[in-house]
Structure formats: structure tokens, C-alpha cells
Structure 1
């Protein structure tokens, strides 16, 4: 098994000294219908400054500085999230939550509570197979955006934690935005 590659587009780069190459790729066997595109900038000057970015069926030129800026935004969001989750206050909340979960009378009761608060979405049968205690469940499933629901379950409020969550969510929204492009699409595919 291999991959069939077909030249889809070849055009001049931004500076005109090189070119953009976009290839249509698909597996060379009949039982798969997946396809993808491979794209490169064949110009040393432009490749140092730009990257091609596929968005749906369009390819745009994006400055590498912009991609680095977006990566820093994502890293900042992840760092803030990690810092929040490792504070003593959050650790104590999670310990109380683990104790609360483990004190419930049955796995069905735990599943109902977690499902009601949208902390769990699998069936009760799947939940029973996966359940290995509150500590394991919290370690595997809880992230910063679950803290509001967990505090609600425990009947506690920490406005400073809620403020941190809101800040992380704002950072996350900004980081999730696609990088700014330069001009019109370089190429639009046929599919």
C-alpha cells in the first residue's frame, strides 16, 4: 500500500523567484476514500518568511511570525490552565470532590450526578466498565473548565477561581482564532 500523489497546483511564490506546489494525495487501494493535500513553498526566501495554510478547500499564505504568535497564545493559555489546576485551593476542591464521588451509594448515582452536570457523557454501562474510583476519574477527566460545575456540586464558590477560569477561556478563544492571512487565497481546490 502506498499513496498516489497528483500535482494539483503550481504557481509563483510571493517574491517570484520560486513556486508554490500543492499535491492531491490519496491511498492507492480501493477500500479507502480519504484524501489530503501536501503543500510546500519551493523558494528559500519565501519559505523562511511564510507558510501555506489550508482552510477548507482554500490555501492561504501566512507569515511565520503570525504562526509563532498564535503558538505563544496557545502556550500561555495552557500555562495558565496548568497553574490554576496546581494551586492549593483547586487541589483541595478536587480532594473534596473525590471524597464526595466515592461516598455516593452506587456507580449509577455517580454517573447520574456527573451526567447531569455534563462532566460525563458516556452510557452507564460504559461508565461502569471505566470507573476505577474518584481519584482516577478526576485525574483522567477533570480540566479547568470543569471547576465551575464541581464547585456547584460541592456547594462552594471561589470568585478568584471563577475569574481565573474566565481569563483562561478568553485566552483560549483568542488562541483558537485562525492566524491572519496575506491577501486572497493562493489556490482553491476543486473538491
Structure 2
């Protein structure tokens, strides 16, 4: 389950922007909030390796509350096949406070089948695991606050694609790798 569209949009942003995800891994490695500093640095290295940031980037538009993508079309296909459920949460059906997204048994079964039949899709599992580890239990608003700390993200005008930060993050990673090597591990 993913609680709230804002959280879903924030997770999607990191999934589609490996440079921003790598930068948050580095931030967590530096401030000590990473579950495992060595793992965070290793994942950041993978995310920034070669042309990975360019190949995996799928830009999102900046909207009122940050990175945003219309979900209706993508989710409609999953809903129509009974793979997911989307539930409104609120006082009344008219006053929706948030939307919650559930992967149903049929969706889990199909995902398992795809893992067997299309092993190249393992990339999504790996990336989603990193995104969820970085996000932890934080709310969509908390994740958006983190993303807004990036000047490129924050300064993007409404309805424009949020630009990448690959080179800046590569420099930061290089410094951290050098510090780690200099410290003997």
C-alpha cells in the first residue's frame, strides 16, 4: 500500500530521476540517517555509473506541490485488470483527504510472473527497493520537502520539466568516495 498521492508522486520522482535519488542517498550517508552508509554509497555509485542517469531519467513536470504526473491513464489500465485498488480516504465521499493505492493479489501474481518471464524488468524491483529504503516511513509532504531542498527542483517554473543534477551529484559522490578511501574504508 502507498498512503497518499503526494507520497506516490514523490516516490515516482525518485524512481524516474536516479541523480536525485543518488543525492538523497549521499545526504543520508553524510548525516548518518542511512540504514547503512556503505550500502548508500554503493547504491549512489550504481545510480550514477556511466549513462545510467540519462537512460533511466523520465522527467516529471513541476506542479503546485512539486513533481507531478497525471496518474489516471497509467492507473486505469491496472485498475481495469484488477491489479490495484485505489481508495478515497476522507470524512465523506465528496471531501477526499487522500487517495491510498493497494496492490491486489492479482497484481502481486502478475509481478511474480513477469519477474520469471522478463528478468530484464528486475531493474524496477531493484530501483523501487532503493527508493523505499530512502523514503522510509516519511509522508508525501516530508518527501516533497526533501526534494524541494534541491535548487534545480525548487526553481523549476510551473509546468516545466525538472532538470537533472547529475554532474553536481557525481562531484559530491567523488568527494565522499575519496573521504571514505582516505579514512581507510
Instruction: Kindly indicate whether structure 1 or structure 2 has the higher relative contact order, using CA contacts under 8 Å at least 6 residues apart.
Output: 2
TM-score of the aligned structures, taking structure 1 as reference length: 0.24
Which one has the bigger helix percentage? 2
TM-score of the aligned structures, taking structure 2 as reference length: 0.25
